[in-house]
Amino acid sequence: MDPVFASAIFAFGLAFGSFLNVCIYRLPRGLSTVTPRSACPNCEKPISFYDNIPVLSWLLLQGRCRNCKSPISPRYLVVELLTGAMFLACYWHFGLTLATLKYCCFGFLLLGLIFTDAETQLLPDKMTLPGLALGLLFSLFVPVNDLASQFLPGLVSLPTSSSFSLTLFSFADSLLGAIVGASFIYGVGAIYLRARGVEGMGFGDVKLMAMVGAFLGLKLTMFTIFTGSIAGSLFGLWTVLAVWIKRSRRRIKQNHEPSREARRRAWASAAIALRRHQMPFGVFLGSMAIVAFFVGDQFLHWYWRMY
């Protein structure tokens, strides 16, 4: 790693992270990301350029507005640092290549979607749809190399070594990933809705997985869906257990209920809370998509070697 390039890419990441914070706040509210200038949501005073320096300003102001001293969410700091780290990791992993540019764009969109979903339970079209187009476009320059690239050359009579057909196969892989990723989540959502009567996955997740599929191709998209579902389920289980334990203790200590009865009642109420709670599934899918483009291939190699 060249230290000068590395620092420049990290600084670039911090600046993009700062812009991403604006998108996370404004896109779900239907506001423009360009105008007006950033202002404090509490006192509405515009933020001067010297209070808008990534990471440093937040630390110097100790997470408070200079004017009205109302707290500024630590999310601003976290998103900037994560975007910087992500850009740096892409450079470290893919070198000074077009792949680095591709995964910086992809990672930027994913971080934005993860935090928007966590805060507002929305996955804005203004991120997922341009992301889908960008993923398809990048497949023309950075080969996706998935199932279509393996099997299409045997099925169609195109000169397999020409760069034109290689580009075509790569695009087919990107398209296949998008279609299967989106259809799979749509199918799971439909089954979930039938089985439990509440919406577990919305159209936002379908469009998110179309975007992920276009960037990653079929294999890593399936990896994302399966590991994302496992992570989401573990999180759901952990939440319900935490709520159960807390409510049991409260019933025993404050209401002096017999412990067996308290646990039974607490379990029933925790189960109702879980059913009402909408899981931010995009958070888990988005996080596992980031894991997928860094280590998914190694994981699949290791997995297939076991059998």
In the bound complex, what is the minimum distance in angstroms from residue 146's beta carbon to Zn ion?
Answer: 49
Planar angle of CA 245, 250, 255, nearest 5 degrees:
140
Smallest gap from Cβ 268 to Zn ion, in A, equals 44
270 binds Zn ion (CB under 5 A): no
Q: What gap in Å lies between CA 215 and CA 139, rounded to an integer?
A: 7
- Give the nearest distance from C-beta 75 to Zn ion in angstroms: 16
Q: Please pick, from the candidates 27, 40, 142, 243, the single residue that binds Zn ion as defined by CB under 5 A.
A: 40
**Alpha-carbon span 204 to 34, nearest angstrom:** 23
Residue 52 binds Zn ion (CB under 5 A)? no
**Smallest distance from Zn ion to CB 70, Å:** 5
Q: Of 72 and 136, which CB lies nearer to Zn ion in the complex structure?
A: 72
Q: To the nearest whole angstrom, how small is the minimum distance from the Cβ of residue 45 to Zn ion?
A: 5
Residue 125 burial class via C-beta count within 10 angstroms: exposed 0-12, middle 13-18, buried 19 and up: middle
Q: How far is the CB of 57 from Zn ion (least distance, A)?
A: 13
Nearer to Zn ion by Cβ, of 68 and 96: the residue is 68
Rounded CA-CA distance 123/131 in Å is 12
Judged by CB under 5 A, which of 8, 59, 60, 68 binds Zn ion? 68
Interface stretch with Zn ion, choices 39-47, 232-240, 245-253, 281-289 (CB under 5 A): 39-47
Asked if 144 touches Zn ion (CB under 5 A), the answer is no
72 binds Zn ion (CB under 5 A): no
Residue number with CB closer to Zn ion (40 or 178): 40
Residue closer to Zn ion (CB basis): 53 or 179: 53
- Residue indicated by tokens 């029933």: 268
Closer of 51 and 205 to Zn ion (Cβ): 51
DSSP state of 147: H
- Cα(221)–Cα(284) distance, rounded to whole angstroms? 13
Work out whether 42 is an interface residue with Zn ion (CB under 5 A): yes
Task: Specify the stretch interacting with Zn ion by CB under 5 A; choose among 48-56, 60-68, 219-227, 237-245.
Answer: 60-68
> H-type helices in 42-162, by residue range?
56-60, 75-94, 98-120, 125-138, 147-155
Which of 23, 65, 144, 270 touches Zn ion (CB under 5 A)? 65
For residue 269, give every residue at least 6 positions away whose Cβ sits within 8 Å of its Cβ, in sequence order, or none. Answer: 243, 247
Q: How many CA atoms lie within 13 A of 286 on its CB side?
A: 26
Give the CA angle between residues 215, 93, 17 to the nearest 5°. Answer: 70
Contact between 39 and Zn ion by CB under 5 A: the answer reads no
**Judged by CB under 5 A, how many residues of this single chain contact Zn ion?**
6
Give dist(CA 190, CA 288) in Å, integer: 22
Q: How far is CA 162 from CA 136, 170, 296, in A?
A: 20, 13, 28
Interface positions with Zn ion (CB under 5 A):
40, 42-43, 65, 67-68
